[in-house]
Amino acid sequence: MPDMPETALDRAFADMEAAPDDDNARMRFYDRLASSELFLMLEREPAGDTIEPEIFDVADARFVLVFDREARMSGFAGRAVPYVAMSGRALAGMLAGQGIGLALNPESGPTQILLPPEALAWLADTLSQAPAMAEARAESLSAPRALPEVLLTTLDAKLATAVGLADCAWLAEVGYEGGGRGHLLGIVGAPERAEPALAGAVQEALVFSGLEAGALDVVFLQADDPMCARLARVGLRFDLPEPEQPRVEFERPAPGSDPDKPPILR
């Protein structure tokens, strides 16, 4: 198989393999796995909403065959095979509780690993955790401090995947009425339907940074909210990507279609 460019999942796997005792490296790998598009090999073409994954047995466990590139899958199979594409997050949720593990890139590329059913169950459970809801009034805001770099990096990566879901986000240290301090992430311009996904992304950033016991409060704001100006004065800004605009192809009008511009006869 010809050499292919390294993927983000390859890099996360290499970091984990190079530091087997580093919990943060292991968390980053699982985070990248959950966020990646994966290709699940099937026994036959899907029939409506029903799929039959290709499954093989290793010792006492069963595994589905999954690849992070179509070319790696076809190179392994040696032929065109039916498949479905889905995120690692969706795949973990689908397989959890079924006693089936995941064989990632078998005999294909640098990232080859068998994830047992227990690992997928843990990943699905981790991804299903919802953030707690609370109400409090911010009394003071200041520049964020004493936050681990791994959290800032993971949070930036998570928000970078939320294309078009909000305009930006501001991170600041907050003091609440009645006492209590923490950090507040103000997400600006998100429609209500996008709020659960964005709150979940922040929760995942905490978990995959190894800081699940930590706290990062989230508030959703519109651009004209006075809190935005307060956050902008002291906060750390995260820009969310805008969706790509579809390319508009302008068709040349047919000669004679504009009555004010009759065709020229030669």
| Tens digit of each residue's pLDDT (9 = 90 or more) over 63-113 | 999 999 999 999 999 888 999 999 998 999 888 888 999 999 999 889 999
Q: Are residues 107 and 142 in the same domain?
A: no
Asked if the model's pLDDT at residue 41 lies above 90, the reply is yes
Residues in contact with 63: Cβ distance below 8 Å, sequence separation at least 6, in sequence order: 55, 56, 57, 100, 101, 102, 103, 114
111 and 162 share a domain?
Answer: no
107 and 66 in one domain? yes
**Quick one: pLDDT band at residue 201, thresholds 50, 70, 90?**
confident
Please, which residues bridge with residue 239 across strands?
Answer: 168
Give per-residue pLDDT as tens, 46-75: 877 788 999 988 777 899 999 999 999 999
Are 170 and 77 found together in one domain?
no
Q: Binning pLDDT at 50, 70 and 90, where does residue 222 land?
A: very high
Place of tokens 């978990």: 207
Give Cβ neighbours of residue 242 (< 8 Å, ≥ 6 apart).
Answer: 163, 164
Q: Are residues 208 and 174 in the same domain?
A: yes
Residue 247 lies in a domain: no
The per-residue pLDDT of the chain, averaged, comes to 84
Domain residue limits at 87: 8-127
Number of domains comprising the chain: 2
Q: Which residues, 6 or more positions from 52, have their beta carbon under 8 angstroms from its beta carbon? A: 42, 43, 44
The C-alpha R_g of the chain, in whole angstroms, comes to: 24
pTM value?
Answer: 0.72
CATH number of the domain where residue 187 is located: 3.30.70
Same domain? For 25 and 93 the reply is yes
Residues 39 and 61 in one domain: yes
* Whether residues 13 and 121 fall in one domain: yes
Identify the domain boundary among 127, 153, 172. Answer: 127
